[in-house]
């Protein structure tokens, strides 16, 4: 009697111990996963802050010779990433101009035809587009724009590649948001005699604007750091280039260039730090919008 109680007690203790160990392991591993983020941030800030000054924002990237002389004299490398900033603004801006209208309208279409057959096909394709590797879109940008249209590398080609990349997230966030908006709102507008398109554009769309905006900003932050497709399309340029049919630089492309040039290594960190801060700000904005103006009824 006594021994059986002891045995079951020991068994219980073992079960409880297992439970405890498992819980600790979960907590430990979950937080261990957040370590790389801080290591990366620390590394970027430690090595990158020195280079960030005012000229960093308005001067173009230095050439190898300038950098070599500066490094030799133990000075900060002159120059900045202005060509990258302007390039990123133009490329990402044009990509948004292409993707946002198409994405929102397509999201509206999917939300309005949730059961249609063709809508199902479109939804499936949007899902598949989401998974296309960015480098493949770079190849597409090259074949569609670089070869036939601009006859050479161009920021337009980069924008086309990136616009396909950001399209799925805009479509899906628009669809998801609009689906949450109650049908009564639409019916109320329609019953007052408001035409269908005005109902959609002036009543339904504005009430979901925060969700859509969140999707758009997340889409932008997703493409702002993309390097691979731009290597095959925008290529890079030493000067500030505002002609969309000409090659252009972008911040991630500059990081790649600095990485490949031993004399410019010191510039990598500041350019990456700037890029990372830019993307983090976009993410935080998206989060703030989603939280502040939550779509709820």
Partner 1 sequence: MEASSSFNRNRSKLMNSEKIFRYLLIGSGVLIVLIAIGIVTTLFIGSIPSFKEFGFGFIYSTDWNPTQGRESYGALPFIIGTLVTSVLALLITFPFAFSISLFLGEYFKNGKLPSFLRSVIDLLAGIPSVVYGLWGFYALRPIITDLGLNAQGFGIFTSSIILAIMIIPYASSLGSEVISMVPGSLKEAAYSLGATRFEVVKTVIIPNAGSGIFAGYILALGRAIGETMAVTMLIGNSNKIPTGIFDLGNTMASLIANQFGEADGLKYTSLVEIGLLLFVITGIVNYIGKLIMKKLSA
Q: Which residues from 272-291 bind partner 1, rule CB under 8 A?
A: 272, 275-276, 279-280, 282-283, 287
Q: How far is the CB of 172 from partner 1 (least distance, A)?
A: 12
Q: Which of residues 71-110 bind partner 1 (CB under 8 A)?
A: 102, 105-106, 108-110
Angle at 79 between CA 73 and CA 81, to 5 degrees: 140
For partner 1, give the closer residue by CB, 73 or 131. Answer: 131
What does R_g of the chain's alpha carbons equal in angstroms? 26
Among 8, 9, 43, 184, binds partner 1 (CB under 8 A): 43
CA 146/CA 56 separation, integer angstroms: 30
Q: Which of residues 118 and 297 has its CB atom nearest to partner 1 in the complex?
A: 118
- To the nearest whole angstrom, how small is the minimum distance from the Cβ of residue 112 to partner 1? 7
Q: Give the CA distances from residue 284 to residues 54, 211, 253, 279, 287, in Å, rounded to whole numbers and listed in that order.
A: 25, 14, 24, 9, 5
Per rule CB under 8 A, is residue 33 in the interface with partner 1?
A: yes
Task: Pick between residue 125 and residue 209 the one whose CB is nearest to partner 1.
Answer: 125
We find the least distance from the C-beta atom of residue 105 to partner 1, in angstroms, to be 4
Closer of 17 and 188 to partner 1 (Cβ): 17
Q: Are 90 and 97 in contact (CB under 8 A)?
A: no
Nearest to 170 by CA among 112, 212, 204: 212
Two tokens, residue 213: 């905006």
31 is a contact residue toward partner 1 (CB under 8 A): yes
Residues in 143-182 that interact with partner 1 by CB under 8 A: 143-144, 164, 167, 171
Closest to partner 1 by CB, 69 vs 190, is 190
Q: Which is nearer to partner 1, 69 or 279 (CB)?
A: 279
The residue within the footprint of partner 1, chosen from 69, 70, 89, 135 (CB under 8 A), is 135
Residue from 1, 3, 5, 36 in contact with partner 1 (CB under 8 A): 36
Query: Which CA distances in Å does 29 have to 11, 21, 24, 35?
Result: 27, 12, 8, 10
Judged by CB under 8 A, the chain residues 203 through 262 that form the site for partner 1 are 221, 224-228, 231-232, 235, 252, 255-256, 259
Residue 218, both tokens: 């997340």
- In the bound state with partner 1, the residue whose beta carbon lies nearer, of 65 and 197, is 197
Q: State the Cα–Cα distance between residues 2 and 207, nearest whole angstrom.
A: 70
For partner 1, which residue of 45, 70, 76, 122 counts as binding (CB under 8 A)?
A: 122
- 59-to-55, 65, 80, 121 alpha-carbon distances in Å: 5, 16, 5, 48
The reply on whether position 49 binds partner 1 by CB under 8 A is no
Counting Cβ atoms within 10 Å, is residue 22 exposed (0-12), middle (13-18) or buried (19+)? exposed
# residues contacting partner 1 (CB under 8 A)? 82
According to DSSP H, which parts of the chain are helical?
2-32, 35-48, 54-58, 64-72, 82-112, 117-131, 134-141, 155-180, 183-191, 196-198, 205-207, 209-224, 228-233, 251-260, 265-292
Q: How far is the CB of 289 from partner 1 (least distance, A)?
A: 14
Question: Considering only residues 45, 71, 119, 190, which one is a binding residue for partner 1 as defined by CB under 8 A?
Answer: 119
């Amino acid at each position: 009697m006594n021994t059986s109680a002891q045995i079951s007690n020991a068994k219980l203790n073992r079960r409880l111990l297992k439970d405890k160990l498992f819980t600790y392991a979960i907590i430990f591993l979950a937080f261990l996963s957040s370590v790389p983020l801080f290591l990366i941030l620390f590394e970027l800030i430690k090595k990158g802050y020195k280079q960030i000054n005012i000229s960093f924002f308005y001067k173009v990237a230095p050439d190898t010779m300038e950098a070599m002389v500066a490094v030799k004299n133990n000075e900060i490398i002159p120059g900045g990433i202005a060509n990258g900033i302007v390039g990123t603004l133009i490329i990402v801006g044009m990509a948004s101009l292409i993707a946002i209208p198409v994405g929102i309208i397509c999201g509206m279409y999917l939300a309005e035809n949730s059961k249609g057959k063709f809508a199902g096909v479109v939804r499936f394709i949007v899902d598949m587009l989401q998974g296309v590797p960015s480098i493949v879109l770079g190849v597409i940008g090259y074949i569609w724009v670089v070869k036939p249209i601009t006859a050479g590398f161009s920021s337009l080609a980069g924008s086309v590649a990136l616009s396909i990349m950001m399209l799925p997230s805009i479509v899906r966030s628009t669809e998801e948001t609009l689906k949450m908006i109650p049908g009564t709102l639409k019916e109320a507008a329609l019953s007052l005699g408001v035409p269908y398109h005005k109902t959609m554009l002036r009543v339904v769309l504005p009430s979901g604007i925060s969700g859509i905006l969140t999707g758009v900003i997340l889409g932008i932050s997703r493409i702002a750091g993309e390097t691979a497709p731009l290597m095959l399309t925008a290529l890079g340029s030493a000067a500030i280039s505002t002609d969309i049919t000409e090659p252009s630089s972008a911040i991630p492309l500059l990081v790649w260039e600095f990485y490949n040039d031993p004399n410019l290594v010191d510039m990598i960190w500041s350019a990456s730090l700037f890029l990372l801060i830019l993307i983090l700000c976009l993410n935080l904005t998206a989060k703030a919008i989603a939280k502040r103006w939550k779509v709820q009824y």
